[in-house]
Amino acid sequence: MAGSARAKAAPAGQDEAASCPSEEQVELLRQWDGVQSGLRRLNEQVLEDVHRATGLAPSSFQVLWFLLNAPEKSAPMGQLSRTLGFTTAGTTKVADRLSEAGLMERRPHAVDRRVTLACLTGRGRATATKAALTLADALQERVAGPLGPGGLGVLAEHVTRVDPEAPEPRPCAERERPA
C-alpha cells in the first residue's frame, strides 16, 4: 500500500520498541476496535429486542426479512445461503426451524425441479413484519436518536463506501419506480 503507515519488520538486532505500532497506528487500531466492537454489541442489543418481541433467533429473523423483501416472498434455498452467508447445512437448519414453526415452507421450483424454494407463509409474513417494526423502533431509539437527524444515513454511507462487497449503485433506468 503506497503511502500507508504500515509497520515495517525491524532489522535483526534493532530493539523491540522500533517494531511497535506508531502512535498514529495505535490510534487507528483503537478507532477500529471501537467501531467493530461497538457495532457488534449494538447489533446484539437490537436483535435481542427482536427476539424478546417475536421469539426469533437472529438467523431466523435474517431469513424471514430476506423473504419478506424477495419477489413473491420466496427465494431458492441456495440464494438464501449465498446472500446471508450461511452454509448449506446452516440454511437447512434454520429453514427446518422456520418450517416447523409454520413461518415458511419449502416448495419445488415450477420450472427447475432441482431447485427448492423457501416461501414465506402468512404467519411468517406477519412475524417478519412485527420483527422488522421492532428492529426499526430499536434502531430509532439506540442509533438514529443518539446520532441525530441524518446521522444513521451518514454512517451507513460511510460504511458502504468501504464495504468490499457493497453492491454497485444501479443506473436510474434499472431502479424500481414507485407505483
CB-CB neighbours of 86 under 10 Å: 19
Distance between CA 135 and CA 34 in Å, rounded? Answer: 22
Domain map of the chain by residue range? Answer: 42-138
More confident residue, 178 or 159: 159
| Stretch (H or E) spanning 159 | helix 151-162
| pLDDT for res 15 | 61
pLDDT in tens, 77-95: 999 999 889 899 999 999 9
Q: What pairs with residue 120 in β-bridges? A: 104
Residue 113's pLDDT band, with cuts at 50, 70 and 90, is confident
pLDDT over threshold 70, residue 14: no
For the chain, what percent of residues have pLDDT higher than 70?
A: 84
CB-CB neighbours of 140 under 10 Å: 11
Distance between CA 62 and CA 148 in Å, rounded? Answer: 27
CB-CB neighbours of 119 under 10 Å: 17
For the chain, what percent of residues have pLDDT higher than 90?
A: 69
DSSP H helices, 4-141, are 23-54, 58-69, 77-84, 88-100, 122-139
Rounded mean pLDDT, 21-44:
94
Task: For 51-69, give one letter per residue: b (16+ CB within 10 A) or e.
Answer: bebbebeebbbbbbbbbbe
pLDDT over threshold 60, residue 3: no
pTM score, whole prediction: 0.74
pLDDT over threshold 50, residue 1: no
| Domain 42-138 of CATH type 1.10.260.40 | no
